[in-house]
């Protein structure tokens, strides 16, 4: 079993814990103390001196097109698949993979295989069944069976209030939410319904209808891309005040990253809106198309996970306490995944997914399930074909 001793770390759990030493055994945090003695120099023990740098939970990205997205401008516009180091060098040790607009050439079978590949290579990867469409597409013929019978499936994806969606109604979301909820209970997964939100006039109306006309818990619905319009953000505030969660997408370039950070900072200043019910995701490898007023695609790029950490840095510069900003990518997504105390925290018994931040909050190191993925900016763990 791998033993690692981390010395002189300024720990954020994400709440600040002060200066601590950590002992990692295999994939888990075994011990956290003010000082841990007697292990340095022993055979099989690797020691890392953090020299007072910040040690935080590694990031959890709830929305990643791990097999590539795109396609809105034809086959040549399909985005390539993700690579392991693109995540680890940007502080990410857990991802949720999903499909986007293209649920035809991007298959669920490939999604499952890619999630399993990333997990084999060193991080933790989950997946969602279906894509934009309703009724959902599945592997087994049933959303419930996919979630229960096919690890790493933990929920289902659908799109709403978007000209590319199937425009699901409130009744459709009740059916989908009920299936995912029941499957989650049977499989020990969150039974999550992630809802791609467009900028259509319907906004979160189908979700509010489902919550008002069924017994599906509010935590099972996670609308994403919630920074698109002021009106959509207002619906998100309403959902949070009902006890729900909203997912915000980081920008895809420097300008949009700063815009997103400003929007998030404004939201966190609202009464009843806390980082405990807001998450941040990258939409990495998902296409970022621009459409004109007639619905024609007039431009296309794709998102990078690097803007997650840039958003955290921007929030800190805007005066948001680091422990609050970190929640967006650590403890809150862990709660959404039903992994409190396991992911998204620095705690004895938790997974040893740990992020080291140096000067200016620069990413200096990453441990994924106890393995050294990045140390002092040098990549230590790569995917098989990198």
Task: Give tens-digit pLDDT for 34-64.
Answer: 999 999 989 999 999 999 999 999 999 999 9
Answer yes or no: do 23 and 64 share one domain. Answer: no
Q: Give the CATH number, domain containing residue 13.
A: 2.30.40.10
Number of compact structural domains in the chain: 2
| Spatial contact of 114 and 123, defined as CB atoms under 8 Å apart | no
d(CA 381, CA 386): 10
Could you tell me where the beta strands, DSSP code E, fall in 114-245? 124-129, 153-160, 192-197, 221-224
Give the pair of three-digit tokens for residue 76: 């040549």
Answer yes or no: do 78 and 118 share one domain. Answer: yes
Across-strand partners of 95? 61, 125
Answer yes or no: do 41 and 151 share one domain. Answer: no
Give the pLDDT score at 28. 98
Q: Give the CATH number, domain containing residue 119.
A: 3.20.20.140
Give the pLDDT score at 74. 82
Residue 47 domain flag: yes
* Cβ-based burial of 200 (10 A; exposed 0-12, middle 13-18, buried ≥19): middle
Average pLDDT over residues 144-162: 97
Cα angle, residue 103 at apex, residues 101 and 105 outer, rounded to 5°: 110
Give the pair of three-digit tokens for residue 336: 């959404």
Give the pair of three-digit tokens for residue 75: 């086959």
Answer yes or no: do 361 and 332 share one domain. Answer: no
DSSP state of 352: -
Residue at token pair 């990518």: 329
Residue 386 domain flag: no
Answer yes or no: do 49 and 89 share one domain. Answer: no
Answer yes or no: do 247 and 352 share one domain. Answer: no
Q: Residue 13 is part of which domain span?
A: 3-56+345-379
Residue 90 domain flag: yes
| Spatial contact of 312 and 326, defined as CB atoms under 8 Å apart | yes
Give the pLDDT score at 360. 96
Average pLDDT over residues 209-224: 98
Task: Reply yes or no on whether the pLDDT at 298 is more than 70.
Answer: no
Active-site residue set = 283
Across all residues in the chain, what is the average pLDDT?
95
Answer yes or no: do 273 and 371 share one domain. Answer: no
Task: Reply yes or no on whether the pLDDT at 295 is more than 80.
Answer: no
Q: What percent of the residues of the chain are helix, what percent strand, and what percent coil, each to the nearest 5?
A: 30, 30, 40
d(CA 67, CA 60): 18
Confidence of residue 299 (pLDDT cuts 50, 70, 90): low
Answer yes or no: do 245 and 371 share one domain. Answer: no
Across-strand partners of 221? 193
| Closest-CA residue to 110 (of 144, 75, 76, 137) | 137
Confidence of residue 291 (pLDDT cuts 50, 70, 90): low
Task: Reply yes or no on whether the pLDDT at 92 is more than 90.
Answer: yes
Give the pLDDT score at 75. 86
Residue 188 domain flag: yes
Answer yes or no: do 62 and 51 share one domain. Answer: no
d(CA 286, CA 304): 8
CA distances from 29 to 2, 44, 376 (A): 11, 16, 21
Task: Reply yes or no on whether the pLDDT at 290 is more than 70.
Answer: no
Residue 384 domain flag: no
Upstream peptide bond of 14 is cis (omega within 30 degrees of 0): yes
Reduced to 3 states (helix: H, G, I; strand: E, B; else coil), residue 290 is strand
d(CA 97, CA 384): 19
Give the pair of three-digit tokens for residue 182: 């029941």
d(CA 252, CA 141): 35
Answer yes or no: do 361 and 259 share one domain. Answer: no
* Cβ-based burial of 212 (10 A; exposed 0-12, middle 13-18, buried ≥19): exposed
Q: Which of 301, 319, 336 is the last residue of a domain?
A: 336
Output phi, psi for 279, to 5 deg: -120, 160
Task: Reply yes or no on whether the pLDDT at 241 is more than 80.
Answer: yes
pTM of the model: 0.96
Q: Dihedral of the CA atoms 172, 191, 286, 131 (nearest 10)?
A: -40
Answer yes or no: do 105 and 22 share one domain. Answer: no
Answer yes or no: do 244 and 110 share one domain. Answer: yes
Residue 14 domain flag: yes
Residue 153 domain flag: yes
Task: Give tens-digit pLDDT for 332-365.
Answer: 999 999 999 999 999 999 999 999 999 999 999 9
Residue 72 domain flag: yes
Give the pLDDT score at 289. 64
């Amino acid at each position: 079993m791998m033993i690692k001793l981390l010395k002189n770390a300024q720990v954020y759990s994400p709440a600040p814990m002060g200066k601590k030493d950590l002992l990692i055994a295999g994939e888990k945090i075994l011990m956290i103390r003010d000082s841990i003695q007697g292990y340095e120099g022993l055979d099989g023990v690797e020691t890392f001196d953090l020299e007072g740098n910040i040690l935080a939970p590694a990031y959890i990205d709830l929305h990643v097109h791990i097999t590539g997205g795109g396609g809105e401008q034809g086959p040549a516009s399909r985005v390539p698949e993700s690579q392991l180091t693109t995540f680890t060098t940007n502080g990410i040790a857990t991802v949720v993979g999903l499909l986007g607009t293209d649920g035809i050439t991007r298959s669920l079978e490939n999604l499952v295989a890619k999630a399993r590949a990333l997990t084999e290579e060193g991080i933790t990867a989950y997946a969602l069944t279906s894509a934009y469409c309703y009724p959902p597409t599945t592997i087994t013929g049933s959303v419930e069976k996919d979630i229960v019978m096919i690890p790493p499936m933990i929920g289902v994806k659908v799109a709403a209030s978007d000209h590319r969606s199937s425009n699901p109604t409130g009744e459709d979301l009740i059916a989908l939410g009920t299936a995912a909820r029941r499957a989650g209970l049977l499989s020990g997964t969150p039974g999550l319904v992630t809802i791609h939100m467009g900028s259509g006039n319907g906004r979160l109306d189908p979700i509010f209808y489902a919550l008002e006309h069924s017994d599906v818990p509010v935590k099972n619905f996670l609308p994403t891309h919630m920074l698109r319009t002021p009106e959509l953000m207002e619906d998100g505030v309403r959902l949070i005040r009902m006890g729900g969660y909203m997912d915000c997408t980081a920008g895809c370039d420097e300008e949009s990253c700063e815009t997103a950070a400003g929007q998030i900072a404004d939201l966190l200043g609202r009464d009843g809106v806390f980082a405990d019910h807001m998450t941040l995701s990258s939409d990495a490898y998902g296409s970022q198309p621009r459409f004109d007023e007639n619905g024609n695609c007039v431009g296309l790029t794709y998102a990078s996970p690097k803007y997650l950490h840039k958003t955290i840095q921007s929030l800190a510069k805007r005066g948001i306490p680091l422990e609050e900003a970190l929640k967006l990518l650590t403890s809150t997504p862990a709660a959404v995944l039903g992994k409190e105390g396991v992911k998204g925290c620095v705690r004895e018994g938790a997974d040893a997914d740990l992020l080291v931040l140096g000067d200016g909050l620069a990413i200096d190191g990453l441990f994924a399930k106890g393995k050294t993925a990045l140390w002092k900016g040098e990549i230590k763990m790569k995917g098989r074909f990198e």
